[in-house]
Amino acid sequence: MNPYSVFLLEQPPLPTDATMEATVPETSPDTAIPPGLTLRRTLRGHDDEITSIAFSPDGGRIASGSWDGTVRVWEADTGRQVLRLEGHEDWVRSVAFSPDGGRIASGSDDRTVRVWEADTGRQMARLEGHEHLVLSVAFSPDGGRIASGSWDGTVRVREADTGRQVLRLEGHEGPVWGVAFSPDGDRIASGSVDRTVRLWEADTGRQVARLEGHEGPVWSVAFSPDGAHLASASGDRTVRVWEADTGRQMARLEGHEDEVWSVTFSGDGSLLASKSKDNTVRLWRTGTWEVVARVYEPTGKHLSLSAIAFHPSSPVLVTLGEEDTAIRIWDLDLDLLLGAPPPVPTVHYTNAKVILVGDATVGKTGLGLVLTGHEYAPTDSTHGRNVWTFDSRKVELGDGREETRETLLWDLAGQPGYRLVHQLHLDEVAVAAIVFDARSETDPLAGVRYWDRALRQAQRLQGDSALPMKKLLVCARADRGRVAVSPGRIKALVQDLGFDAYFETSAKEGWGIAELAAALRDAIDWDSLPKVSSTELFQTIKAFLLDEKQAGRLLSTVDDLYRAFLKSANAPAETDDLRAQFDTCLRLVESRGLLRRLSFGDFVLLQPERLDSYASALINAARDEPQGLGCIPEEIVLEGRFRIPKEERLPEAQQEKLLIIAMVEDLLRHEVVLREYADDGPLFIFPSQFTRDYPDAPEPHGKAVIFDFEGPIANIYSTLCVRLAHSGLCSKKELWRNAALYTAQVGGECGIWLREIEEGRAELTLFFGDDASEETRFQFEEYVRTHLQRRALPDTITRRRIFVCPSCEIPISDAAAQRRREDGRDWIACNVCEGVRISLLDREERVRAARVPAIAEMDRSADTARDRAVAATVMEGKEATQDFDVFMAHHTPDKPKVEDIAGRLKDRGINPWIDKEQIPPGRWFQDVIQDAIPNVESAAIFIGDTGLGKWEIVELRAFISQCVDKDMPVIPVLLPGVTDVPKRLLFLKELRWVRFESLDDGDALDELIWGITGEHPGRMR
């Protein structure tokens, strides 16, 4: 969603009165009113676009909020405007009726929620407290409370009468755009830019579930009337339907061709309506999730996130019409909508992902081949991964519908270098087969535990919406001789790790293959997997993309791919929407891991597994670094001067460069690597690939706390090293394979030492220099603990405090310390040193000024450092592909300021076109623009206190109209010192502008980035 996109201003005239009659769109099959809907009435009156509408509980009235700052109340029957609620000092974004119809709540950019008497329009309350825009409001079903979601990332729950805040729901990592109460009032759902939906206990504010799955911001959430389901609308162009109890994702609705802005259920639960930026409202039949109607409703310039509403009890729908300036009331013919076959056929499918994991050379690829119907053939070690179709069939659903069930088999390379990388591919797995080699000379079962833990950890990261996963244990290459492990040990392992079954196989001889294939098939619980509703066109595009992939196409621009699609055998005739549909499909296929859009140059990588092979080669190269420091200069990396198996190397240098940049971006994003400046330029450091051992182990001086945990150790350790280095609490001093030493900003040393106890289980010892303050120790430990809680298996983490005599450094036994503490003593005498008392106080007890640990701050600082490193890499890609994001138009005297902002944009990975916009003497401004326009995605017009210089109004208008033709956002930017758009440029006010209070105004920069990319940075400050 880009709030800055220009849809108006096709011609230069100054803005006119918004109440004008809108032109009736020409009727084409796309814009015609679909059968089953009758337009009853259109309500007009707001002075600007409408953002939100709500029906009163008796269906008699409609409330609407608008950019004009007012809430209006209308009689549904007559269309008469009965009230105009004034008081908000900024745009109104959301409205809600109380369940008894007596009150209306509204949320606004003025950071308040107001409560109004619905009959008289009297303002009853003004609820303050949110630290930023209020984006959504909802009444509890008993009318006693109001929940509001805000840009500040919180949901606040307040008493509707007194305004007293009763709960503050914290957890989202970005603005909260959607909030809803469950019909029984027990739960609150919220959706955020952080891509999650969360469920909270309405009484206590406890977060009960985190629903993961969306790949874009969540703009709106709605419960079904029976409370069983929850729907969410997202910038990823899908609607998802979740089981409200369990958080399981039930359905994924594809079809919209742009961001989906709002969802709501009809009063009887039979329909779900969704509104999208693609200028349509779609009605879906619940349960079967078929589109039963598609209404053409072009949107306005701005976001409208609660812009559809059903009558609570009658078949009536209201939408926003005339580019969000009017309210349209529709009568629905439910018999027709629900009874007749849908006008556009919906394609139903379900995907299942089956993975083969295990150590290198255990026989995964051999199995993969024969399981997918290929002949057995000897294979080399895999680089990256293979993805095969294991099974694809159509199933009758009984009600005339048919579903395609497709199972993909992923064979992940097992070499150690991939362990870090594969952790990223273990999501949404329905069945995992962990493979081991019967005849391994060492311990054949060693890798099994590792992969089991890695899978469990990946499940955990997917929150409460993780799929239930079945696990099979598979012994491969059994033809090579008797299994070197006793049946008893295998049985114990199967029980211990909760495998669903055990198989002995030989791909070569075909032993056990049919049984394993049948077991894999049976293990898929199709009903538990999200059902996808999609369109035939999307299926055609997807099939084309997969064909291109199969044919070995590697890297292509979206344009080239699209052109190839148009020429392909099954391509439909080109329409205005086809390109948008194609782009949407690219995203949908990407979300299955089958291709990757690069963050620069409009490129699509059709073989994303190539990223894995390069990543693994790089990780190995770092490990082989002669000094054992796990690092490698950026320059060498970007030029591909590290060892890669010959058959894996891309033949073409330019393509390789782009691939490497994308690969580094991934590694930085996942914090597998640190980017640091050394004397001779930036370096990449892989903490997990250090080979040097920590010399002071096993007894580092100042041992204080030991954590014991299970999980993917290399990942946990390297991300901890990376994040601590960027936490702002301390800076990195030295790294070893198994230890890291930091210096706290306020002085004092802190260290971690890792000891692997067995595969997947480790001990992490924290130690401190004598000069480390209590507060530093406390925060350091808190940070490590939080990190482990996030990344290790939570029920495996234990903590032990070590008490050491300050004089002789001999530790006190755990039992002794515990006994003393149980006896109520906070000290113990040293056994060795006469008269020395050892304090037994721990953690908070020792920190006198018990300040809340600044974990959130440290986290933010680590996130920022990561994002900067990622941005620097993305900029490399943008430079290599001459990919500019924004044309920075400005007047020469403002250049220093504009350059300053340009620099800040670069730090965030946005590539500005700044050096080329200088208008050489004698050249028409128009010509320069002509050069720039094809190369940029958006334009920012900087207005300083000296005005616009050469920017003459006519030219500016011409420029803007060109942007309109290209559907390119234009963002007027007011530089510091300018408080308003100058009079003679008043027409710029039609556009949404950004104002910098000072050059380091972070909010303004976020807004500008939002305008440029269409994606809100989603971060709160």
Ligand X SMILES: Nc1nc2c(ncn2[C@@H]2O[C@H](COP(=O)(O)OP(=O)(O)OP(=O)(O)O)[C@@H](O)[C@H]2O)c(=O)[nH]1
Residues of this chain that bind ligand X (CB under 6 A): 358, 360-366, 378-379, 381-382, 413-415, 476-477, 479-480, 506-508
Task: Count other C-beta atoms under 10 Å from residue 654's C-beta.
Answer: 11
The owner of tokens 């109520």 is 824
Instruction: Determine the Cα–Cα distance for residues 588 and 545; give it in Å rounded to an integer.
Output: 11
Instruction: Determine the Cα–Cα distance for residues 591 and 215; give it in Å rounded to an integer.
Output: 7
Of 363-371, 740-748, 875-883, 990-998, the segment contacting Mg ion by CB under 5 A is 363-371
Which is closer to Mg ion, CB of 64 or CB of 382? 382
Of 347-355, 358-366, 608-616, 638-646, the segment contacting Mg ion by CB under 5 A is 358-366
Which is closer to ligand X, CB of 37 or CB of 433? 433
Residue 169: name the closest of 133, 208, 143 by CA.
Answer: 208
Q: Residue ranges of the alpha helices (H) in 916-986? A: 925-932, 953-965
Give the SS3 label for residue 423.
helix
Q: Give the residue nearest to ligand X (CB).
A: 366
For the bound state, the minimum distance from the C-beta of residue 505 to ligand X, rounded and expressed in Å, comes to 7
Q: Residue 23 burial by CB count (10 A; 0-12/13-18/19+): exposed, middle or buried?
A: exposed
For the bound state, the minimum distance from the C-beta of residue 871 to ligand X, rounded and expressed in Å, comes to 34
Give the SS3 label for residue 602.
coil
Q: Which does 366 bind (CB under 5 to 8 A by kind): Mg ion, ligand X, none?
A: ligand X
Which is closer to ligand X, CB of 360 or CB of 497? 360
Longest Cα–Cα distance of the chain, Å, equals 97
For the bound state, the minimum distance from the C-beta of residue 444 to Mg ion, rounded and expressed in Å, comes to 17
For the bound state, the minimum distance from the C-beta of residue 464 to ligand X, rounded and expressed in Å, comes to 32
Of 350-358, 374-382, 853-861, 994-1002, the segment contacting Mg ion by CB under 5 A is 374-382
For the bound state, the minimum distance from the C-beta of residue 409 to ligand X, rounded and expressed in Å, comes to 12
Q: Give the residue nearest to Mg ion (CB).
A: 382
892-923 in b/e form (b: 16+ CB < 10 A) is eebbebbeebbebbbebbbbbbbeebebeeee
Instruction: Determine the Cα–Cα distance for residues 843 and 851; give it in Å rounded to an integer.
Output: 12
Q: What's the chain's length in residues?
A: 1021
Which is closer to ligand X, CB of 360 or CB of 833? 360
Helix 653-669 / helix 609-623 crossing angle, nearest 10 deg:
80
Which is closer to ligand X, CB of 205 or CB of 416? 416
Q: Which does 101 bind (CB under 5 to 8 A by kind): ligand X, Mg ion, none?
A: none
For the bound state, the minimum distance from the C-beta of residue 415 to Mg ion, rounded and expressed in Å, comes to 9
**The one among 365, 462, 534, 715 contacting Mg ion by CB under 5 A:** 365
Which H or E run includes 200?
A: strand 197-201
The residues facing 723 across adjacent strands are none
Q: Which does 19 bind (CB under 5 to 8 A by kind): ligand X, Mg ion, none?
A: none
For the bound state, the minimum distance from the C-beta of residue 515 to ligand X, rounded and expressed in Å, comes to 14
Bond preceding residue 698 cis, omega within 30 of 0: yes
Which is closer to Mg ion, CB of 364 or CB of 531? 364
Q: Which does 207 bind (CB under 5 to 8 A by kind): ligand X, Mg ion, none?
A: none
Which is closer to ligand X, CB of 506 or CB of 688? 506
For the bound state, the minimum distance from the C-beta of residue 504 to ligand X, rounded and expressed in Å, comes to 11
Of 195-203, 382-390, 490-498, 512-520, the segment contacting Mg ion by CB under 5 A is 382-390
Residue 22: name the closest of 322, 327, 279 by CA.
Answer: 322
Q: Please give the single-letter amino acid code of residue 611.
A: L
CA distances from 369 to 236, 405, 501, 502 (A): 34, 20, 21, 20
Which is closer to Mg ion, CB of 357 or CB of 595? 357
Q: Which does 507 bind (CB under 5 to 8 A by kind): Mg ion, ligand X, none?
A: ligand X
For the bound state, the minimum distance from the C-beta of residue 410 to Mg ion, rounded and expressed in Å, comes to 11
Q: Are 231 and 224 in contact (CB under 8 A)?
A: yes
Which is closer to Mg ion, CB of 98 or CB of 440? 440
Which is closer to ligand X, CB of 72 or CB of 383? 383
Q: Are 403 and 531 in contact (CB under 8 A)?
A: yes
Q: Residue 862 burial by CB count (10 A; 0-12/13-18/19+): exposed, middle or buried?
A: buried
For the bound state, the minimum distance from the C-beta of residue 365 to Mg ion, rounded and expressed in Å, comes to 3
Which is closer to Mg ion, CB of 357 or CB of 739? 357
For the bound state, the minimum distance from the C-beta of residue 618 to Mg ion, rounded and expressed in Å, comes to 19
Of 360-368, 443-451, 583-591, 631-639, the segment contacting Mg ion by CB under 5 A is 360-368
For the bound state, the minimum distance from the C-beta of residue 620 to ligand X, rounded and expressed in Å, comes to 13
For the bound state, the minimum distance from the C-beta of residue 623 to Mg ion, rounded and expressed in Å, comes to 20
Of 155-163, 232-240, 381-389, 693-701, the segment contacting Mg ion by CB under 5 A is 381-389
Instruction: Determine the Cα–Cα distance for residues 993 and 980; give it in Å rounded to an integer.
Output: 10
Q: Which does 530 bind (CB under 5 to 8 A by kind): ligand X, Mg ion, none?
A: none
Which is closer to ligand X, CB of 361 or CB of 689? 361
Q: Are 853 and 778 in contact (CB under 8 A)?
A: yes
Which H or E run includes 150?
A: strand 145-150
Residue 644: name the closest of 614, 612, 685, 605 by CA.
Answer: 614
Q: Which does 479 bind (CB under 5 to 8 A by kind): ligand X, Mg ion, none?
A: ligand X
For the bound state, the minimum distance from the C-beta of residue 361 to Mg ion, rounded and expressed in Å, comes to 8
Q: Which does 1019 bind (CB under 5 to 8 A by kind): ligand X, Mg ion, none?
A: none
52 φ/ψ angles, rounded to the nearest 5 degrees: -155, 145
Which is closer to ligand X, CB of 381 or CB of 998? 381
Instruction: Determine the Cα–Cα distance for residues 224 and 269; give it in Å rounded to an integer.
Output: 6
Residue 145: name the closest of 180, 195, 191 by CA.
Answer: 180
Which is closer to Mg ion, CB of 266 or CB of 365? 365
For the bound state, the minimum distance from the C-beta of residue 354 to ligand X, rounded and expressed in Å, comes to 15
407-440 in b/e form (b: 16+ CB < 10 A) is bbbbbbbbbbbbbbbbbbbbbbbbbbbbbbbbbb
Q: Strand 346-357 relative to strand 402-412: parallel, antiparallel, unpaired?
A: parallel
Q: Which does 581 bind (CB under 5 to 8 A by kind): Mg ion, ligand X, none?
A: none
Which is closer to ligand X, CB of 230 or CB of 507? 507
Please measure the distance between the N-terminal and C-terminal CA atoms of the chain and give it in whole angstroms: 21
Instruction: Determine the Cα–Cα distance for residues 606 and 565; give it in Å rounded to an integer.
Output: 14
Determine, following the binding rule CB under 5 A, whether residue 382 of this chain makes contact with Mg ion: yes
Q: Which does 480 bind (CB under 5 to 8 A by kind): ligand X, Mg ion, none?
A: ligand X
Of 357-365, 468-476, 806-814, 918-926, the segment contacting Mg ion by CB under 5 A is 357-365
For the bound state, the minimum distance from the C-beta of residue 365 to ligand X, rounded and expressed in Å, comes to 3
Which is closer to ligand X, CB of 417 or CB of 969? 417
The residues facing 504 across adjacent strands are 475
Q: Which does 774 bind (CB under 5 to 8 A by kind): ligand X, Mg ion, none?
A: none
For the bound state, the minimum distance from the C-beta of residue 706 to Mg ion, rounded and expressed in Å, comes to 38
Number of residues that bind Mg ion (CB under 5 A): 3
Q: Are 895 and 903 in contact (CB under 8 A)?
A: no
Site track 421-460 with Mg ion (rule: CB under 5 A), x = hit? ----------------------------------------
Which is closer to ligand X, CB of 92 or CB of 426? 426
Q: Which does 591 bind (CB under 5 to 8 A by kind): ligand X, Mg ion, none?
A: none
Instruction: Determine the Cα–Cα distance for residues 855 and 34; give it in Å rounded to an integer.
Output: 54
Q: Which residues bind Mg ion (CB under 5 A)?
A: 364-365, 382
